[in-house]
């Protein structure tokens, strides 16, 4: 068997959790007996704190059949280490039931959906870090313009169906929880340095130790690249991201009660020369990595700060975890918004979809023509925003025997506040000799408002065991008070307050057929709230969701298949700049789509073949079938819908997706391939919108990684993303055709101590 030189804490967690999908003897296998003994000691220390760790990382443990009801997928540290993906999109392609709209090729601002959710800025799913809502303003403005760096994560969990009910506010589709590194039980550290094409570089390191009852961890990551796109006339198209995190843990044993106190502080920033401006289809197929000169000033600049305090208390028969948190996020997003309009009104999406009919404006975007009229001026907007989210949440676990039946109770509550302040401005520029030159006019304030939410959420779960049947009853309550205020001078009277309250029940069953196989069933009510800006007459998104499936686990073989059906009484979407420039007049406005059905099959399997005593072949397959249909005929100005006829499908939901992961693992080296296929996706559902009838093409991407272990001297690794160098249009939003990332090569060195 192959020895994976993970961190000491990771070795312990691999025993406690199914995270690495490796058997215990693989994790504990060592190069010599002394190292094996040390690993066992670390495992023993981790087991003493198992209950605390389990509350941070939620999915069940061990190699036995997982009997939790509901769809849940865990990707652990060993799997993340295998390919060292920095892009969350590439990680999630290994999870069934996920639909993604790629945008920049690096996953800087991912668009993630589960089970048919329109994936715009991941706003329909609940995104968490260490069990805490991590979106800039999850209730007031859930679009995830900030997303944590994958490089610092040691695992991630995806919950769908009833399993996601406790993690609201958005419970129609599912939840994503990412776990950062735990404070180690003993002295350990790591340094990881890599270089790649397009001037890519990454420096990642951490150091931690526990002395007595006090533990400390410091971790930092810097990642940068010049970008793979080529700006007409030259210029930067890359990014530079940094993240620094410090954790402290203190253990206090008072006899019958054990306490663990934790503090996490982090700071992150990004500077990226990214744009919302894409290409015409013709230009894409001639030069997919081209960028028009009109985007030469586009830039995203943001900073994020986080502080989180955790208290875990365990006594005989119960434990309580309490978290207090605050996140602050500030950004300045300079980008081309479009043309000034007026007498020669032109829309970017329309120009790029039909350049022949809009030749003048196409030539302005590409620098082949100079601005000659006021309406031809190019408008650059700075969508400056400030966010915060803060709150306190607590959850209780305990077991009780009632009427001869075992009950496992999980009860929780959260008080949360968040806010977004928009300070959007625009400036007018002339295109002159293929350069943007200011026209000298004053800056114009466009959107100046504030949306704020205060929410109380409670949940209750009771898992009742009766012979081979586990029954989980759940109930979630959301009680939301929100405020909208137009802060623009002279329009301060434009404001409103509103309240929303709802109870969301769930039921899930797991029946154990044998020690290796079982069946699951779930039903729950889903909910997505409206924004504070929308009036109380606007309907919430609401659904009844069903799933049925089974699991099989025996030795190295694991199989899971789940059928899902989302019966939506009202699908809701909202306009944003990332949706299309056509939303400018209705920015933030929400649209009702009425009844929609989304259904499909999620399948995953894995097996590790032993070719010889020292040579293994791990293989896994993930497949998703999805389909959808609007149940009503209606007309809409939402640019992803248009005029809908009953039976039309929702956009950006491929019918077929699958990933195949295959490796070859020896004592000192391993080689891994992963191939993913994404079927074609509709750009717009109905008629009479710009991209009506247009689809992205199906495409296949193959990634490669290889590592050679140098024993006590660390390891070297090679990585190649998209080794076949296939590039296709992954989306025509926002504003034009956008390419997948081309072939990118990396070489790196990692040393653990």
Q: Which residues contact 224 (CB under 8 A, 6 or more apart)?
A: 199, 200, 201, 202, 238, 239, 240, 241
Start-to-end C-alpha separation, the chain: 22
pLDDT at 29: 33
DSSP 86-154: --HHHHHTTSTTEEE---SSS-SS--EEETT---GGGTTSEEEETTEE-SSBTTTB---S----GGGEE
Question: Please, is 644 exposed, middle or buried when counting C-beta atoms within 10 Å of its C-beta (0-12, 13-18, 19+)?
Answer: buried
Quick one: average pLDDT of 386-409?
Answer: 95
Rounded distance between C-alpha atoms, residue 579 and residue 349, angstroms: 10
Give the whole-number percent of the chain exceeding pLDDT 90.
Answer: 83
pLDDT at 52: 55
Whether 12 shows a pLDDT value over 60: the answer reads no
Question: What DSSP state is assigned to residue 441?
Answer: P
Q: Is the CATH code 1.20.140.10 the one for domain 8-752?
A: no
Rounded distance between C-alpha atoms, residue 417 and residue 292, angstroms: 41
Residue 705's φ and ψ, nearest 5 degrees, are: -145, 150
pLDDT tens sequence across 659-704? 999 999 999 999 999 999 999 999 999 999 999 999 999 999 999 9
Whether 6 shows a pLDDT value over 70: the answer reads no
pLDDT at 7: 44
Whether 597 shows a pLDDT value over 70: the answer reads yes
Quick one: average pLDDT of 292-300?
Answer: 97
Quick one: average pLDDT of 391-408?
Answer: 95
Residue 3 pLDDT class (50, 70, 90 cuts): very low
Cβ neighbours around 555 below 10 Å, total: 10
pLDDT tens sequence across 130-155? 999 999 999 999 998 999 999 999 99
**Could you tell me which of 741, 735, 579, 675 has the C-alpha nearest to residue 106?**
741
Sign of CA dihedral 363, 364, 367, 373: positive
Lowest model confidence (mean pLDDT) among 219-228, 285-294, 336-345: 336-345
pTM for this model (two decimals): 0.90
The residue ranking higher by pLDDT, 57 or 603, is 603
Rounded distance between C-alpha atoms, residue 738 and residue 751, angstroms: 37
pLDDT at 493: 82
pLDDT tens sequence across 112-125? 999 999 899 999 99
pLDDT tens sequence across 549-579? 999 999 999 999 999 999 999 999 988 887 7
pLDDT tens sequence across 251-279? 998 888 999 999 999 999 999 999 999 99
Q: Element (H or E) spanning 299, and its range? A: strand 299-315
Whether 18 shows a pLDDT value over 70: the answer reads no
pLDDT at 5: 41
pLDDT tens sequence across 720-738? 999 999 999 999 999 999 9
Whether 422 shows a pLDDT value over 70: the answer reads yes
Residue 691's φ and ψ, nearest 5 degrees, are: -105, 25
The residue ranking higher by pLDDT, 452 or 50, is 452
CA-CA distances (angstroms) from residue 105 to 124, 237, 357, 576?
A: 21, 12, 30, 20
pLDDT tens sequence across 24-61? 233 323 333 333 334 334 444 444 444 555 555 455 54
Whether 88 shows a pLDDT value over 60: the answer reads yes
Lowest model confidence (mean pLDDT) among 1-10, 436-445, 652-661: 1-10
Rounded distance between C-alpha atoms, residue 352 and residue 734, angstroms: 11
Whether 62 shows a pLDDT value over 70: the answer reads no
């Amino acid at each position: 068997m192959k020895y994976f030189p993970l961190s000491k804490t990771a070795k312990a967690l691999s025993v406690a959790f199914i995270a690495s999908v490796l058997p215990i003897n693989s994790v504990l296998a060592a190069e010599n007996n002394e190292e094996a003994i040390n690993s066992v000691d670390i495992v023993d220390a981790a087991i003493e704190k198992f209950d605390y760790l389990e509350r941070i990382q939620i999915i069940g443990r061990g190699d036995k059949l997982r009997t939790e009801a509901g769809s849940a997928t865990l990707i652990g540290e060993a799997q993340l280490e295998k390919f060292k993906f920095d892009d969350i999109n590439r990680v999630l392609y290994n999870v069934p039931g996920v639909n993604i709209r790629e945008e920049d090729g690096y996953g800087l601002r991912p668009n993630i959906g589960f089970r048919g959710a329109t994936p715009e800025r991941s706003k329909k799913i609940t995104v968490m870090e260490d069990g805490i809502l991590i979106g800039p303003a999850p209730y007031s403005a859930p679009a995830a313009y900030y997303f944590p760096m994958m490089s610092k994560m040691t695992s991630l969990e995806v919950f769908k169906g009833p399993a996601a009910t406790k993690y609201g506010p958005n419970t129609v589709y599912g939840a994503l929880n990412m776990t950062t590194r735990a404070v180690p039980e003993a002295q350990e550290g790591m340094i990881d340095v890599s270089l790649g094409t397009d001037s890519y570089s990454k420096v990642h390191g951490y150091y931690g130790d526990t002395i007595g009852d006090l533990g400390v961890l410091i971790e930092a990551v810097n990642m940068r690249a010049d970008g793979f796109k080529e700006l007409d006339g030259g210029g930067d198209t890359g990014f530079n991201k940094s993240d620094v995190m410090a954790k402290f843990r203190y253990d206090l044993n008072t006899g019958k009660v054990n306490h663990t106190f934790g503090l996490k502080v982090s700071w992150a920033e990004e500077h990226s020369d990214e744009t919302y401006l894409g290409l015409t289809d013709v230009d894409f197929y001639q030069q997919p990595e081209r960028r028009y000169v009109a985007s030469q000033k586009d830039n995203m600049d943001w900073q994020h700060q986080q502080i989180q305090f955790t208290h875990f208390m365990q006594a005989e028969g119960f434990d309580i975890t309490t978290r207090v948190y605050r996140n602050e996020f500030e950004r300045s997003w300079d980008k081309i918004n479009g043309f000034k309009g007026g007498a020669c009104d032109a829309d970017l999406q329309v120009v790029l979809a039909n350049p022949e009919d809009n030749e003048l404006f196409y030539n302005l975007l590409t620098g082949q023509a100079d601005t000659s009229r006021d309406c031809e001026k190019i408008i650059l907007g700075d969508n400056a925003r400030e966010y915060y989210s803060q709150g306190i949440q607590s959850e209780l676990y305990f077991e009780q025997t009632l009427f001869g039946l075992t009950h496992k109770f999980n009860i929780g509550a959260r008080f949360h506040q968040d806010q977004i302040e928009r300070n959007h401005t625009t400036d007018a520029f002339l295109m002159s000799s293929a350069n943007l030159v200011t026209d000298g006019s004053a800056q114009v304030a466009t959107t100046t408002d504030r949306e704020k939410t205060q929410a109380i959420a409670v949940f209750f779960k009771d898992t009742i065991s009766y012979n081979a049947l586990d029954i989980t009853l759940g109930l979630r309550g959301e009680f939301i008070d929100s405020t909208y205020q137009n802060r623009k001078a002279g329009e301060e009277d434009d404001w409103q307050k509103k309240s929303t309250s709802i109870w969301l029940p769930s039921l899930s069953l797991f029946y154990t057929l044998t020690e290796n196989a079982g069946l699951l069933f779930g039903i729950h009510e889903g909910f997505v709230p409206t924004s504070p800006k929308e009036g109380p007459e606007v309907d919430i998104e609401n659904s009844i969701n069903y799933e049925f499936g089974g699991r099989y686990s025996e030795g190295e073989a694991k199989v899971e298949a789940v059928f899902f059906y989302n019966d939506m009484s009202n699908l809701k979407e909202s306009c944003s700049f990332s949706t299309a420039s056509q939303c400018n007049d209705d920015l933030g406005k929400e649209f009702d789509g009425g009844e929609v059905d989304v259904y499909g099959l999620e399948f995953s399997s894995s097996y590790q073949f032993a070719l010889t005593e020292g040579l293994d072949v791990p293989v896994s397959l993930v497949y998703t079938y999805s389909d959808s249909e609007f149940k009503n005929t209606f007309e809409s100005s939402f640019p992803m819908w248009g005029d809908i006829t009953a039976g039309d499908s929702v956009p950006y939901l491929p019918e077929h997706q699958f990933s195949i992961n295959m490796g070859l693992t020896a004592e000192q080296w391993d080689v891994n391939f992963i191939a993913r296929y994404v079927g074609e996706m509709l750009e717009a559902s109905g008629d009479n919108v710009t991209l009506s009838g247009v689809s992205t093409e199906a495409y296949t991407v193959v990634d490669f990684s290889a590592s050679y272990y140098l024993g006590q001297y660390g390891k070297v690794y090679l990585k190649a993303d998209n080794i076949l160098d296939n590039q296709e249009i992954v989306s025509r939003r926002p504003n034009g055709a956008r390419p997948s990332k081309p072939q990118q090569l990396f070489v790196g060195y990692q040393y653990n101590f």
